[in-house]
């Protein structure tokens, strides 16, 4: 993922340079490059990222309520301000029933006085239900019940497209149940992980104390022991990337062969799929271990764990001491953030969604107003043209590959031609008509929303796959590729500077949003996306010879990124980040070819002292400017499949001949690689 627009018939038309539009001269053109961010003491041949962003990095401070800050977060902040206006207007004078729901939900979130008055009363029923559990079978049932309320336990349940039959939906279960960001936080004894475990214990004890639950210190010890056992049984994030290993379809009647002691029928009944006949078990060995963990965990310890999961899940919605405790662990201790977000920002996030995959309570209601106000038809038209150019360039590039045989090239082109681009916003909006929202019931609203979304999900079973559905809201600053639908998706909010500037020379747009488009297309051909065919099915379309050649190239990329040190003694995980690194490298290569095509044989003008090819690479680098707090960078090195921004800015260009030509990179320059060592995949 950079992470997809509705189905469009793309006319592959070339975009001409801005010099050809409206008869403009080179002096009239706007480069779209931010010169104030440059550090001219650093040569682009030595460190392109620092050259483009050095002064920005020195002069910028991370806002106190953020763990990191860069081009994405700056755009996201602007989108949040626009969304705040939409929501507050809906609260004052809603235009329709859905607008009233937006206003009422936001009002319920902002009513701190009422939240303080009610205290823990809204969650007493949930806590009382846990105290009444009298057997491990009832406990297992409760794991399923909490799923419907959006509260996780050791078993994650979801519904998605069947990886081997993309025309249908398939239920799935996956490992879950830990609080810290990754298994390493439980299993490794580096100081930062020991500190995190101590912070988790303090947090559990604090929540128990605030909730008036007994023996918080003992509960914290037991819960940490239990979560450590779960972490030890979990697959690593690198293992979880493997699409083939994640596909293990079972008849539900055969699950006792895998885990004889786990009462799956009561879990599925509680989830609302009591008639389920088949399920994909993504992490079979985890569930085998879960049996043993259950045998060696007392019922009281398991009930304490469930009580903590409930308290942790609702803490941001409770009175201020709970909110502060949740912030202390999840944001200050684990991400290094010194200050809580203002309440209005948290209210906007809860209403509209806070990022990739997060729809909030009423995200697509807000989206309809956002798109009407902030996404122009011209932006969509330009994006259609850009996508068309990228697809054409990709087609040409596949045809010219020297490491792939014609047999596999033919199938690669078939997959390329079946990619569906989605730009701006969906053609069909989600239905919220059955969702009850009350202006005086925040926790009730969140509970009903979770149940509504859970029901929306399980209702998919047995129905044809809805290929119009989006996995992000249009107001999300991001983009993604979905291998199960073979689609690339670009929400409206990312189609702004520095990614896309309708007033700028085209070089910066190709280096920005063009490379993003190329990145998302390339996910269809990365180490995992390439295992899916053009219909979105997990099916091998490669010859053994071509797959071996591909894996040799990707192995070189693993080694390149594993050699980068992000923090003293902490190198990148080249295997975890491989898919994103392939997409960055190939996306850049293809977007550059599309840019050259767009010139239609003309010479690019020099603007602000930079040639067109130079502006392309400068445009790429400036979208990655980002600062991290150290704890956040530590977390990302473990959990994030994306490389940190500096390595995204510099890593791909060392493999691109066009970069060497644009900046006359020579032996001795720090970004120089001998021609034989440069990696070209797509």
Which tens digit of pLDDT belongs to each residue from 526-552?
A: 999 999 999 999 999 999 999 999 999
**H/E segment holding residue 628:** strand 626-628
Q: pTM here?
A: 0.93
Residue ranges of the chain with per-residue pLDDT less than 50: 1-27
Burial class (CB in 10 A: 0-12, 13-18, 19+), 466: exposed
Nearest-angstrom CA–CA distance, 622 and 513: 12
d(CA 277, CA 413) in angstroms, rounded, equals 37
Token pair for residue 262? 């786990």
The pLDDT score that the predictor gives to residue 28 is: 59
Q: Decide which of 3.40.50.1240, 1.10.1380.10, 3.40.50.300, 2.60.120.10 is the CATH code for 122-299.
A: 1.10.1380.10
Q: Which backbone phi and psi does 421 adopt, to 5 degrees?
A: -85, 140
The pLDDT score that the predictor gives to residue 356 is 76
**Residue 404 CA, distance from chain mean position:** 31
- At 1 the pLDDT is 45
Q: What is the DSSP string of 416-459?
A: HHTPEEEEES-SSPPP-TT----TT-HHHHHHHHHHHHHHHHHT
Per-domain boundaries in the chain: 18-71+380-424+468-677, 122-299
- What is the second-level CATH architecture of the domain 18-71+380-424+468-677? 3-Layer(aba) Sandwich (3.40)
Cβ atoms of 280 and 170 within 8 Å: the answer is yes
By C-alpha distance, which of 296, 140, 325, 144 is closest to 222? 296
Q: Enumerate residues 6+ apart whose C-beta is below 8 A from 568.
A: none
pLDDT in tens, 472-488: 999 999 999 999 999 99
What integer pLDDT is reported at residue 15 of this predicted model? 25
Contact at 8 Å (CB) between 23 and 512? Answer: no
């Amino acid at each position: 993922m950079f992470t997809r627009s509705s189905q469009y018939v793309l006319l592959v038309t070339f975009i001409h340079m801005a010099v050809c539009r409206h008869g403009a001269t080179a002096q009239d053109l706007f480069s779209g490059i931010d010169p104030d961010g440059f550090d001219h003491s650093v040569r682009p041949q030595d460190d392109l990222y620092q050259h483009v962003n050095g002064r920005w990095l020195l002069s910028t401070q991370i806002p106190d309520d953020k763990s990191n800050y860069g081009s994405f977060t700056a755009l996201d902040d602007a989108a949040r301000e626009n969304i705040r206006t939409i929501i507050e207007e809906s609260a004052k004078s809603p235009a329709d029933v859905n607008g009233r729901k937006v206003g009422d939900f936001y009002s319920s979130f902002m009513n701190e006085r009422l939240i303080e008055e009610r205290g823990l009363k809204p969650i007493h029923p949930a806590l009382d239900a846990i105290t009444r559990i009298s057997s491990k079978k009832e406990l297992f049932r409760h794991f399923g019940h909490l799923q419907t309320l959006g509260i996780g336990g050791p078993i994650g349940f979801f519904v998605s497209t069947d990886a081997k039959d993309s025309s249908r939906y398939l239920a799935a279960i996956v490992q879950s149940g830990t609080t810290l960001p990754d298994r390493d936080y439980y299993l490794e004894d580096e100081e930062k992980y020991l500190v995190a475990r101590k912070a988790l214990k303090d947090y559990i004890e604090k929540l128990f104390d605030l909730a008036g639950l007994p023996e918080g210190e003992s509960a914290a010890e037991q819960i940490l022991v239990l979560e450590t056992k779960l972490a030890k049984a979990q697959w690593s994030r690198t293992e979880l990337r493997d699409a083939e290993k994640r596909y293990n379809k079972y008849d539900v009647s055969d699950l006792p062969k895998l885990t004889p002691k786990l009462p799956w029928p009561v879990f599925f009944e509680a989830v609302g799929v009591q008639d389920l006949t088949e399920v994909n078990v993504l992490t079979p060995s985890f569930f085998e271990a879960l049996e043993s963990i259950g045998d060696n965990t007392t019922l009281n310890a398991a009930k304490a764990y469930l009580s903590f999961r409930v308290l942790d899940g609702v803490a941001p919605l409770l009175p201020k001491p709970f909110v502060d405790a949740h912030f202390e662990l999840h944001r200050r201790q684990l991400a290094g953030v010194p200050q809580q977000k203002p309440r209005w920002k948290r209210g906007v996030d809860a209403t509209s969604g806070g990022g990739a995959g997060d729809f909030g309570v009423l995200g697509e209601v807000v989206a309809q107003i956002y798109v009407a106000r902030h996404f122009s038809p011209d932006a969509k038209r330009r994006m259609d043209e850009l996508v068309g150019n990228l697809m054409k360039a990709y087609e040409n590039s596949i045809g010219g590959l020297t490491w792939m045989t014609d047999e596999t090239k033919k199938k690669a082109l078939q997959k390329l031609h079946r990619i569906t681009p989605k730009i701006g916003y969906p053609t069909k909006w989600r239905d919220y008509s059955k969702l009850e929202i009350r202006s005086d019931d925040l926790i009730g609203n969140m509970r009903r929303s979770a149940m509504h979304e859970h029901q929306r999900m399980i209702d998919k079973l047995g129905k044809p796959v809805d290929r119009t559905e989006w996995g992000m809201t249009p107001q999300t600053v991001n983009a993604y590729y979905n291998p199960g639908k073979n689609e690339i998706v670009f929400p409206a909010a990312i189609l702004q500077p520095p990614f896309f500037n309708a007033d700028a020379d085209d070089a910066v747009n190709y280096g920005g949003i063009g490379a993003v488009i190329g990145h998302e297309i390339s996910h269809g051909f990365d180490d995992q996306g390439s295992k899916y065919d053009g219909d979105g099915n997990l099916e091998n379309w490669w010859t053994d010879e071509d797959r071996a050649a591909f894996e040799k190239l990707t192995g070189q990329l693993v080694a390149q990124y594993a050699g980068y040190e992000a923090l003293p003694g902490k190198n990148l995980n080249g295997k975890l980040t491989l898919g994103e690194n392939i997409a960055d490298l190939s996306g850049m290569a293809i977007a550059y070819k599309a840019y050259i095509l767009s010139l239609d044989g003309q010479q690019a003008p020099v603007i602000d002292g930079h040639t067109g090819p130079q502006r392309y690479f400068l445009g790429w680098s400036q979208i990655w400017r980002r600062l991290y707090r150290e704890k956040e960078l530590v977390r990302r090195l473990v959990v994030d499949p994306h490389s940190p921004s500096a390595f995204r800015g510099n890593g791909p260009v060392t493999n691109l001949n066009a970069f060497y030509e644009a900046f006359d990179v020579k032996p001795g320059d720090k970004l120089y690689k001998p021609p034989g060592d440069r990696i070209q995949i797509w």
